[in-house]
Copies of this chain bind each other. A is one copy, B any other.
């Protein structure tokens, strides 16, 4: 059962607040991934690339801090990007550290994926409306702060 915008009517929420946000997260991730598909990267990977673009060169722990993601998760998430030659990891000055840098291919991929990302962003804004989107962002931000 679809409405005029091709979307489906809201599904009955769970009594569990956690399940509701997990379902929404899966749906939105799927929505973005579908739109990003031609670029060859997922929204998770694009997020890494876009953060890296702003702070490279940077170490693994520092990037994990910036992205607010677990360090070991980031470590493994980099693997497909290294395999696809989008980033490189080299030893840092402090031999304990590793420098992450973007490759040329990483830059062009990030740029083309970002154009698709713009469309996804615009779709969500159209779908929720500017006011509701702002409310959502605020609530999500507060929820994230539920955990140190």
Q: Mark A27-54, 1 if CB is under 8 A from B, else 0.
A: 1111110000000000110010010000
- Bound complex: CA A125 to CA B16 (Å): 11
Considering only residues 2-20 of chain A, those with a C-beta below 8 Å from chain B are: 2, 7-20
Please tell me the size bucket of the interface on A: 35 or more
Among A13, A24, A121, residue most surrounded by chain B Cβ atoms (within 10 Å): A24
B27, A25: Cβ atoms closer than 8 Å: no
A139, B146: Cβ atoms closer than 8 Å: no
Say whether A55 faces chain B, with CB atoms less than 8 Å apart: no
A135, B133: Cβ atoms closer than 8 Å: no
Select which of B11, B22, B32, B141 is within 8 A of A25 by beta carbon.
B22
Report the minimal beta-carbon distance from A30 to chain B, rounded to whole angstroms.
Answer: 5
- Bound complex: CA A19 to CA B30 (Å): 12
Point out the residues of chain B lying under 8 angstroms from A146, CB to CB.
Answer: 7, 27-28, 31, 124, 127
A residues sitting closer than 8 Å to B (CB atoms) are 2, 7-25, 27-32, 43-44, 47, 50, 68, 117, 120-121, 124-125, 127-128, 132-133, 135-148
Additional pairs, 20, CB under 8 Å, beyond known A27-B146, A136-B143: A8-B145, A10-B141, A10-B145, A11-B144, A11-B145, A13-B137, A17-B124, A17-B136, A18-B28, A18-B31, A18-B32, A20-B137, A20-B141, A20-B144, A22-B28, A24-B141, A27-B143, A127-B142, A128-B139, A132-B139
